[in-house]
Each structure stands twice: as structure tokens, then as C-alpha cells.
């Protein structure tokens, strides 16, 4: 199980939101590239980056910060947030991203997702499925669809997608534990590589996710607050 320390970028800074609310922002580092170097030095083998402004606005907004993160990280970086065209995808790869994550586009533009997988391969293109009460949310989590996360996963699997980052929005940034049951159901019903995201608060949460067989876990606030030690998490679960 791979541990992905998270760097969420808003207005060029490393932040965390509470349940995806843009007015519930905590700034943890004014320099996201420096934060990437910190995660690397603590054992990160892969870093997860989201352009929050891009996710909300539908286009890349923090590409300069992303480029600096990738340059400083020294390990592979996956990038999401506002990637909704082939030009956006190609730009992120040109910045040095190892993998791109299509979120809103995975729900609303499956043609783009299919084309991206054909062009770049399933190892370099992942889908980000974010759910509120089981239903997929898009546009920086501000709009909720009436399509379930499971329905979307089964649909995109038929397009050749192997990897899904699954986030339970109600858990994100709350430090109340991940939605292990919902994640386990996705794993069982889809057979896809699921990277769990949202709510990790302690080492026991990582153990529970490891036991159900997720391929990776994204950890954000728990690392910034010290509730989870990255070096120890990588040693035990990575």
C-alpha cells in the first residue's frame, strides 16, 4: 500500500479544506515546493497534488507552483484539479507530472478520459471520484450528481481505467477516520486499484485500509498536524 502525502494548492499556497469548503481554509505552508521536499525527506515515494483553484474554475490555475513542486520533489508526482482537456493533460505532463487525475471530466466527459487512457496508458491516467452520500460530486465538490460512485467506476473501468482515487467528502479534512466500508465495497464490486482519500486520522486508519486491500492512501491533514508520522507510515505500510 503506497502512502501519498497530499499537497493541496490554493492561491499558490499549501492548504487544507474542511469537507471541500473553500471558506474553510487552513494554510500550512506558503511554499508548496518546500513542503514537497519535506515529504520527500520523510520518506515519501510519491506525492499527490491538487490544484484547488483549478478544480473550482475548470482550468489550470497554479501551474507555476505545480512545476516548482515537481522540480523540488525528486519523486513521482500525480496531479489533479481542473484537468478537462487533452491540452491540460499534455501541459501537466510537460511540467513533469508522472500521472494525471481526471475528476470532473471522469464524470462529465468520459470521451476525454478514454482518449487520455489510449494516448498515455492506464498507468499515467487515473480517475478521481469524489462522493457525497455515495453520489459523485464535481467542479471542486460544489455540485453533486445523481450518479453513484460505483456506477461511475464500473463505467470508466470499461474504458480502460485501472486506478481510482476515491474520496468521501464528508470525511475529508475532518480527522474522523476514512469511510472504510464504502471503499471496501468499491474494491469488491469493481476489482480496480483504489487509492483511498479523506478522513485518515491515525495509524490505525492506515491499518484498516491496508487490511481491505487498497493500493494506496492519500494522507493530508493528519500529516500536517502530526497525528500520523510519514516516515513511520511508509515503514509500516509502504
Pick 54 or 98 by higher pLDDT: 98
200 vs 217: CA distance, rounded Å: 9
Residue 59 burial (C-beta neighbours within 10 Å; 0-12, 13-18, 19+) = middle
CB 157 within 8 A of CB 170: no
- For residue 182, how far is the Cα from the chain centroid? 17
For the domain bounded by 2-237, which CATH number is listed? 3.20.20.70
pLDDT, mean of residues 207-215: 98
7 vs 70: CA distance, rounded Å: 11
CB 93 within 8 A of CB 131: no
CA 218, 222, 227: angle at the middle one, nearest 5?
135
CB 160 within 8 A of CB 118: yes
Residue 228 is classified by DSSP as S
Instruction: Tell me, letter by letter, the H, E, C secondary structure of 31-90.
Output: CHHHHHHHHHHCCCCCEEEEEHHHHHHCCCCCHHHHHHHHHHHCCCEEEECCCCCHHHHH
Residue 175: is its pLDDT beyond 80? Answer: no
Can you read off the three cell numbers belonging to residue 17?
A: 479544506
Q: Which of 57-71, 100-114, 158-172 has the lowest mean pLDDT?
A: 158-172
Helical ranges in 96-179 per DSSP H: 104-108, 110-120, 149-157
**Residue 8 is among the residues annotated as catalytic for this protein:** yes
| pLDDT given at position 39 | 98
pLDDT digits (tens, 9 = 90+) for 84-119: 999 999 999 999 999 999 988 888 899 999 999 999
| pLDDT given at position 210 | 98
Among residues 8, 88, 168, 205, which one is catalytic?
8
Q: How many Å is the Cα radius of gyration of the chain?
A: 16
pLDDT, mean of residues 169-194: 84
pLDDT digits (tens, 9 = 90+) for 122-153: 999 999 998 887 778 766 555 677 788 899 99
Q: How far apart are the first and last CA of the chain?
A: 5
CB 180 within 8 A of CB 210: no
18 vs 107: CA distance, rounded Å: 23
CB 176 within 8 A of CB 199: yes
| pLDDT given at position 140 | 55
pTM for this one? 0.92
For residue 173, what pLDDT band results from cuts at 50, 70 and 90?
A: low
Q: What average pLDDT does the chain have?
A: 91
**Residue 51 is among the residues annotated as catalytic for this protein:** no
SS3 159: coil
Among residues 51, 63, 88, 130, which one is catalytic?
130
- Percent of the residues in the chain that have a pLDDT greater than 90, as a whole number: 74
Amino acid at each position: 500500500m503506497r502512502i501519498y502525502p497530499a499537497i493541496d494548492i490554493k492561491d499558490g499556497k499549501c492548504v487544507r479544506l474542511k469537507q471541500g469548503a473553500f471558506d474553510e481554509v487552513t494554510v500550512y505552508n506558503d511554499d508548496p515546493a518546500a513542503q514537497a521536499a519535506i515529504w520527500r525527506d520523510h520518506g515519501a515515494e510519491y506525492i499527490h497534488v491538487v490544484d484547488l483553484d483549478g478544480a473550482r474554475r475548470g482550468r489550470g490555475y497554479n501551474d507555476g507552483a505545480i512545476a516548482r513542486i515537481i522540480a523540488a520533489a525528486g519523486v513521482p508526482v500525480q496531479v489533479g484539479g481542473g484537468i478537462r482537456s487533452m491540452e491540460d493533460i499534455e501541459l501537466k505532463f510537460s511540467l513533469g507530472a508522472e500521472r494525471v487525475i481526471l475528476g470532473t471530466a471522469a464524470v462529465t466527459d468520459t470521451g476525454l478520459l478514454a482518449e487520455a487512457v489510449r494516448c498515455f496508458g492506464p498507468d499515467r491516467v487515473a480517475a478521481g471520484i469524489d462522493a457525497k452520500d455515495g453520489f459523485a460530486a464535481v467542479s471542486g465538490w460544489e455540485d453533486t450528481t445523481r450518479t453513484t460512485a460505483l456506477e461511475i467506476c464500473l463505467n470508466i473501468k470499461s474504458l480502460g481505467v485501472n486506478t481510482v482515487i476515491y474520496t468521501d467528502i464528508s470525511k475529508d479534512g475532518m480527522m474522523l477516520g476514512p469511510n472504510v466500508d464504502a471503499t471496501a465495497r468499491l474494491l469488491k464490486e469493481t476489482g480496480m486499484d483504489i487509492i483511498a482519500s479523506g478522513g485518515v486520522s491515525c495509524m490505525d486508519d492506515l491499518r484498516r485500509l491496508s487490511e481491505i486491500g487498497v493500493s494506496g492512501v492519500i494522507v493530508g491533514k493528519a500529516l500536517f498536524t502530526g497525528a500520523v508520522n510519514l516516515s513511520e507510515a511508509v515503514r509500516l505500510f509502504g
